[in-house]
Structure 1
Amino acid sequence: MLAQDSVRTFLSTQLAERQRGDRVASVTRRYSVVRRCFQRGGGTRPESDYGTTVTDESAIGVERKRGYMDAHLRAGIAIYNEGYYHAAHDAWEEHWLTLSAGPDKDFLQGLIQYTAAVYHTTTGNWLGTRKLARKAQTYLEGLGERYRGVDLRSVRLHLRALEREPERVGRESPPAIEHEGRALGFEALGFEATAVAATVLAEEWGYNEDAFERAAEYARSDVESGYETSPFVALLFDFVREGDRREPSDGASGETASREGDRREPSDSASDAGAEQVDHRDIIAQRLGEHVDRRGSRESDVSGLF
């Protein structure tokens, strides 16, 4: 019995040392740039291997303080503002399902109906646009001009316009949703909101949703233990912030084809844009999946010892 305990202790120690060694090597090789962004006085905004930039403010600490509601709220707003109208409601709906009746639930329901109305304009469903625009206004009624930092005045103005003239108004680009006076994009999101956005966008774009959900769990666990340079954290940021370089133009008009469904499809062939381009999100997703598999194997190895 004592011999078995000694073997287990030895193997656990060896595994822990190997994991620590992997962490050091990982940070040294690729994630040192992410580490610098969390240090105070870091100077200029560093870029990752894929050209995306991590915000100078503590992208993790700020939204950790804001809480679960704001992480989902900000993620959905950024997804909407980036033009992915169909996907935006998923970030809000996940949290909406956990709420009891009250202002917060009505608020998120109103935003869900709003983005659904906007999405219908991209498919020419004018009847659906009008119906959802009307319903969204009822949910947002009584919440004031600003609720949880969101400018509801501009949202209501657009909803009323969509209800009156959906076909005319719906052919124009919708206004951005502002939060705390800012039209949020992916670059403005901290860690928690980025993790939410990554799982939503992974599902929308046809990536392995389960792998992204597990990656987000590992990232949160690493952050809570002080490992903010975790590869899971870095790759989630990279995946969300990777700029799409394949927006094809709309034929003779020369305008971006952004009104036919959600405006960007990262998996589309680069040939439509007339130039050879690399889909970095595919690479990022592959590497993220590899890290998830390795982490899962290590956890299985440890659990198998006992």
Structure 2
Amino acid sequence: MTGKPGTVVQGGRAKAYRPLPEEDREAAFRAGVAAYDAGDFFAAHEFLEPAWMGTDDPAERDLHQGLIKLAAAYVHAVRGNPLGTAKNLRGARERLAAAATAADTRGLDVDALVRDVDARLERLRREPDVARVDPPPLHWRTP
């Protein structure tokens, strides 16, 4: 069951907040990751959105929004839009870097992902008209 919709402040701006229980946010995260791993970046974006909007924890919001922006970058890449890819990769990097120090990253190695995003941004900087930059893999921390 979800709580009453509201807003939270993120990056100095009001953002939508629709409380969602932890188990539902976890399920949305896992579904988004599975879609990303399968190369269905649009579905990954859609699955991750309830996880992002379902918490008021800033670090958790940054993690989910970073992954949403990462997926959106590759929606643009598939469409052959390097400018949209780069813009969303920069947004993903910013959010993921903010989430990297969080106590709980759902097992995701966010530091490794930020490094991989940096490598793709560097390639786009060197080759701004490159048709496609492969998506970074998601790395997991071992317990």
TM-score by length of 1: 0.34
Match of 1:82 among 27, 38, 48: 38
The percent of aligned pairs where both chains have the same amino acid is 33
Match of 2:112 among 122, 133, 154: 154
Residues 214-257 of structure 1 show CA distances to partners (whole Å, capped at 9, x for unaligned) of: xxxxxxxxxxxxxxxxxxxxxxxxxxxxxxxxxxxxxxxxxxxx
Residues 78-137 of structure 1 show CA distances to partners (whole Å, capped at 9, x for unaligned) of: 111011011101111022222225111111001100111122111111111111111111
1:177 matched to 2:138? The reply is yes
**Structure 1 range deviating more: 92-101 or 165-174:** 165-174
- 1:153, distance to aligned residue in structure 2 (A): 2.6
Partner of 1:106: 62
Amino acid at match of 1:171: R
Amino acid at match of 1:114: L
Judge conservation of contact 1:118–1:170 (CA < 8 Å) in 2. Answer: no
Residues 234-291 of structure 1 show CA distances to partners (whole Å, capped at 9, x for unaligned) of: xxxxxxxxxxxxxxxxxxxxxxxxxxxxxxxxxxxxxxxxxxxxxxxxxxxxxxxxxx
Amino acid at match of 2:106: R
1:122 matched to 2:78? The reply is yes
Return the structure number with greater relative CO, CA threshold 8 A, min gap 6. Answer: 1
Higher strand share: 2
Partner of 2:122: 164
CA distance, structure 2, for counterparts of residue 128 and residue 172 of structure 1: 12
CA distance, structure 2, for counterparts of residue 138 and residue 170 of structure 1: 23
Structure 1 unaligned regions, length at least 5? 1-65, 182-306
- 1:172, distance to aligned residue in structure 2 (A): 4.8
Residues 21-60 of structure 1: pairs in structure 2 closer than 5 A:
none
Structure 2 unaligned regions, length at least 5? 1-21
Amino acid at match of 1:81: D
RMSD after superposition:
2.5
CA distance, structure 1, for counterparts of residue 136 and residue 93 of structure 2: 16
**Structure 1 range deviating more: 71-80 or 138-147:** 138-147
Higher helix share: 1
Amino acid at match of 2:52: W
TM-score by length of 2: 0.68
Q: Secondary structure at the match of 2:99?
A: coil
- 1:177, distance to aligned residue in structure 2 (A): 1.6
Partner of 1:50: none
CA distance, structure 2, for counterparts of residue 165 and residue 173 of structure 1: 11
- Bigger CA radius of gyration: 1
Residues 12-27 of structure 1: pairs in structure 2 closer than 5 A:
none
- Counterparts in 2 of 1:169 and 1:175: CA distance versus 1, 3 Å: farther
Aligned length: 116
